[in-house]
């Protein structure tokens, strides 16, 4: 069972002092039968008190506020976690029995929340693709795997052409994006097929540098497989989520799992830098902060200071 140490640093810089910064964090790794959290340290500049609660989907969420003026906000999360080997569904039940079971459970709590479809103009076109892929003689697991493979094969992994706000219609037209976009499309396809599906936020840990999104924040999808439970599918890499996938949060979409988001009063101009360092095993003695894996600068569009501005963290999961 791999043992990982992950340091995730988020830094906001402002050209002039801002005040009344209120923030929400979803940087607490899930602690369940799939992964064991050995340690988690959260270090926030200005040392605000952080209140932690569990949300509707079972994720730990932290909230804090900084009232006094400041020109920088740094959030450092350091976790040590053990990820267990993935157990794949068995073939003990027939595909027909599995689909019949899904027809019942997807109308029940909590699975009904993961069947909600967003409105999109490409729905009929996507549904046509799903119909061509899903075979009644294949069970939900095989069908989900085929849909994940379709996204991997028909969408180009390309950074810089989408953002956290890009809708599925645009992604479908571009046929390109990063892990967040691949997950977004697969969610829509699985739900059209009648399979409850949820968005997963986390990290993918390096090994031989053969996977996209290694050493950075990552996103994939979990589908509910009858008589087995939630199973992770990573369409960015066309694989089953395994012991190199560390989960932070699950939800209906990215907005339920956003690592950091908040509001503040002050200039809309700011710079966001994110760095992630992932180690397998004991920490190195020369532990150094990495160069940012993501950097984003918002220019002031002529809005005066002290207007009330809301900014979702623009860290796009890779």
| Cα separation, 24 vs 219, whole angstroms | 19
User: Domain spanning 3-83+258-312: which CATH class is it, in words?
Assistant: mainly beta
CA angle, corner 183, sides to 10 and 96, nearest 5? Answer: 145
> What separation, in Å, do the N-terminal and C-terminal C-alpha atoms of the chain show?
24
- pLDDT in the model for residue 211: 79
Gap between the Cα atoms of 210 and 200, Å rounded: 21
- Give pLDDT, residue 306: 43
SS3 of residue 254 by DSSP: helix
Give the per-residue pLDDT at 92.
Answer: 85
The CATH number of the structural domain formed by 95-256 is 3.10.620.30
| Residues sharing a CB contact under 8 Å with residue 165, sequence separation 6 or more, in sequence order | none
Helices (H), the chain: 95-105, 123-133, 140-154, 168-174, 179-192
Residue-wise pLDDT tens digits, 14-31: 999 999 999 999 999 999
Same-fold call for 3-83+258-312 versus 95-256: no
The two structure tokens encoding residue 177: 């994006």
d(CA 39, CA 182): 31
* Residue 293, pLDDT score: 59
Backbone angles phi, psi at 190, to 5 degrees: -60, -40
Phi then psi for 17, rounded to 5 degrees?
-60, 140
Helix (H) or strand (E) holding 13: strand 3-25
Give me the pLDDT at residue 60, please. 97
The domain ranges of the chain are: 3-83+258-312, 95-256
Whether a cis peptide bond, with omega within 30° of 0, leads into 110 is yes
Question: In the prediction, which pLDDT does 304 show?
Answer: 46
The stretches in the chain having pLDDT less than 70 are: 208, 281-297, 299-316, 318
């Amino acid at each position: 069972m791999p043992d990982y140490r992950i340091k995730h640093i988020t830094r906001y810089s402002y050209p002039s002092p801002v005040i009344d910064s209120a923030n929400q964090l979803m940087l607490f790794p899930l602690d369940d039968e799939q992964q064991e959290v050995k340690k988690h340290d959260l270090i926030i500049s200005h040392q605000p008190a952080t209140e932690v609660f569990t949300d509707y989907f079972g994720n730990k969420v932290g909230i804090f506020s900084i009232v006094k003026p400041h020109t920088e906000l740094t959030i450092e999360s350091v976790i040590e976690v053990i990820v267990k080997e993935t157990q794949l569904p068995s073939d003990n039940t027939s595909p027909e029995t599995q689909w019949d079971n899904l027809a019942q459970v997807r109308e029940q709590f909590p699975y009904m929340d993961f069947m909600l479809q967003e409105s999109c103009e490409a729905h009929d076109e996507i549904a046509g693709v799903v119909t061509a892929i899903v075979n009644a003689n294949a069970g939900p697991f095989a069908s989900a795997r085929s849909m994940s493979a379709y996204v991997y094969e028909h969408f180009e992994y390309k950074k810089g052409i989408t953002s956290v706000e890009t809708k599925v219609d645009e992604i479908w037209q571009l046929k390109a994006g990063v892990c967040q976009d691949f997950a977004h499309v697969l969610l829509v396809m699985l739900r059209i097929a009648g399979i409850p599906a949820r968005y997963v936020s986390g990290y993918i840990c390096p090994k031989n540098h053969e996977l996209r999104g290694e050493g950075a924040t990552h996103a994939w999808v979990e589908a509910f497989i009858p008589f087995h439970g939630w199973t992770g599918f990573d369409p960015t890499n066309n694989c089953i989520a395994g012991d190199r996938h560390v989960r932070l949060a699950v939800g209906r979409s990215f907005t339920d799992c956003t690592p950091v988001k908040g509001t503040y009063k002050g200039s809309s101009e700011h710079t966001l830098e994110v760095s992630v360092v992932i180690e397998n095993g004991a920490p190195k003695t020369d532990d150094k902060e990495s160069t940012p894996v993501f950097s984003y600068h918002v220019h002031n569009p002529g809005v005066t200071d002290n207007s009330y501005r809301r900014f979702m963290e623009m860290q796009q999961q890779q």
